[in-house]
Chain A
Amino acid sequence: MTQNIVILGGGTGGTLTANRLRKHYKSAEATITVVDRDREHVYQPGLLFVPFGLTRAEDLIRPRERQLRKGIEFFEHDVDHVDIEGRKVFLEDGPTLPYDVLVIATGAKIVPDETEGLTDEGWNETMFTFYDAPGATALAKAYDDFDGGRIVVNVVDMPIKCPVAPLEFCFLTDWYFHERGIRDKVEITYVTPLDAAFTKPRAAKALAGLLEEKGVELVTEFNTGEVDGPGGRLVSFDEREVPFDLAVVIPVHSGAEFVGRSAGLGDALDFVDTDKSTLQSKAAPEVFAIGDAANLPAAKAGSVSHFEGEILVENIVRFLAGDELDATYDGHANCFIETGFDKALLIDFNYEQEPVEGHYPTKVGLPLLKESRLNHLGKLMFQWFYWHSLLPGRDIPGIKPDMPVGGKHLD
């Protein structure tokens, strides 16, 4: 019997899952359908570099369909809702897709208009975000024109995609204005709702040290209630203020709206309620979620989708064969943190283990939690791996889903 596998979302998680499943199943065994609202696959980690003129947004975009293996059907449609009991996906102005297995990979989106003032007067003039291609491009122009003053980088609330990106943005801002010879005319302030520079203690300490070294002021426990463009100030709910000439804001995030319209599927922020080990949704056994769309206690990052992919496919195969799900995801994530001047840090961690010093993946690998040129090259090289190895669902030799401990300095 042919099984119908429907995957909602043709980004990192959806594409690599579709490709891995297509490699596993012959076409007579399973049909694989991917649905996305548009045809543009953005290499999101690259958006960080756009405002500094290091890359252009159009160079980060490729057609979604072209990243899918032969024998995968692609639909360009918005999803209206999922009928969990009837096991059908209802598309807006499109066919209804019945499924035996559904994978939700629709990611997280920014919701700038949830913050008072942010999208009012001054949006994309003095208030920006680099979390989407148009925003990053508008910011590149503003940085080019900027000749001094106060820049604030503000995270409104967690969770956000790539929690290290705002810090990288601060480090690169420091580098960028050094290169332009006007660093002494630019004040940089990092404003976060967290009680430290980062969520995990040892990395937070290292990153706070770097901020200080680079002359970036750190403001913590700031819960942004309003961004006032004309007045040039961030205002917190407890009425503290941080003035700015130019604000780079990371807006709050939500899951896809159809999740909220599908009874029982999501949480209050429209992320799919998901088992953190098996990646099975809590709504129904034949529904799974991967990547930013899931409400796991893991970072929202491409590396998470990458490591989840192998586990997810194994569990889908077991589910369709009527076996117990026994593949478990350990929360493994790793991130290069660009620190400017051609250097970067690398962090590697999971649900239990916070980032520590050492090397990845083994004792002779890349240095962890320490600035190096090698990590910077790793970050740049990764874009090639993304298109040619990660999305097609090829295994990268020596890189496994489970977090390695061999090279780590553990207490």
Chain B
Amino acid sequence: MPTITIAEADVELNDDGFFEVPEQWTEEMVPTLALNEGIQEVTEDHWTVIRFMRKEYFEKGTGPTVRVLGKTSGVTVKELYRLFPKGPGKVAARMAGIPKPRGCI
């Protein structure tokens, strides 16, 4: 489990880049996390999704799948892919500092 420093704080990530401890995440880390995903500018729409992912995670114990995000976050699936081209489920979860969403059974 690699420990890296983002925005002057140590965070533990798993091998796929997801946070092991979501409480270690701070808003200041988001621009750096975004650059890691190839996202140059974090817009208000990105923030809407990131905040929604964290809220869902702390309420339900897992982040939402893309389909559920599209139905409940106020951002459509198409728009989600525009914001997070490499896959909104995983990328937004990594930027929001939560584990990989379950959901695939």
Contacts and interface: CB of A to CB of B under 8 A. Distances in A.
B93 interface: no
Contact of B105 (A199, A225, A267): A199
A299 B105 contact: yes
A265 to B, nearest CB: 16
Interface stretch (B3-11, B26-34, B39-47, B61-69): B61-69
Interface in A253-293: 267-269
Interface residue SS majority, chain A: loop
A157 B65 contact: yes
B87 A158 contact: no
Given A252-B67, A268-B64, A194 B78 contact: no
Interface in A297-314: 297-300
Given A157-B67, A268-B71, A297-B102, A225 B77 contact: yes
Nearest to A200: B105
B85 interface: yes
A159 interface: yes
A194 B104 contact: yes
B103 interface: yes
B105 A158 contact: yes
A157 B68 CA distance: 11
Contacts of A268: 64, 68, 71-72
Given A158-B103, A158-B105, A238-B81, A223 B64 contact: no
Interface in B50-105: 64-68, 71-72, 77-78, 80-81, 85-87, 102-105
The number of chain B residues touching the other chain, given as a range, is: 10 to 19
User: How many of chain A's residues touch chain B, expressed as a range?
Assistant: 20 to 34
A163 interface: yes
A300 B105 CA distance: 9
A221 interface: yes
Contacts of B87: 221, 223, 238
Interface in A194-252: 194, 199, 221, 223, 225, 237-238, 252
A272 B68 CA distance: 15
A300 B104 CA distance: 11
Contacts of B102: 297
Given A223-B66, A238-B87, A268-B71, A158 B104 contact: yes
Interface in A125-179: 157-159, 163
Contact of B78 (A158, A237, A269): A237
B78 A225 contact: yes
Contacts of B103: 158-159
Interface string B14-28: 000000000000000
Nearest to A267: B68
Contacts of B85: 238
A163 B64 CA distance: 20
Given A238-B86, A269-B68, A297 B78 contact: no
A158 B68 CA distance: 11
Nearest to A299: B105
Contacts of A299: 105
A269 B105 contact: no
B81 A237 contact: yes
B105 A159 contact: yes
B16 to A, nearest CB: 10
7 contacts: A157-B65, A158-B104, A158-B105, A159-B105, A199-B104, A199-B105, A269-B71
Interface of B: 64-68, 71-72, 77-78, 80-81, 85-87, 102-105
Interface of A: 157-159, 163, 193-194, 199, 221, 223, 225, 237-238, 252, 267-269, 297-300
Closest 7 CB pairs of A and B: A237-B81, A268-B68, A158-B104, A268-B72, A268-B71, A157-B67, A199-B104
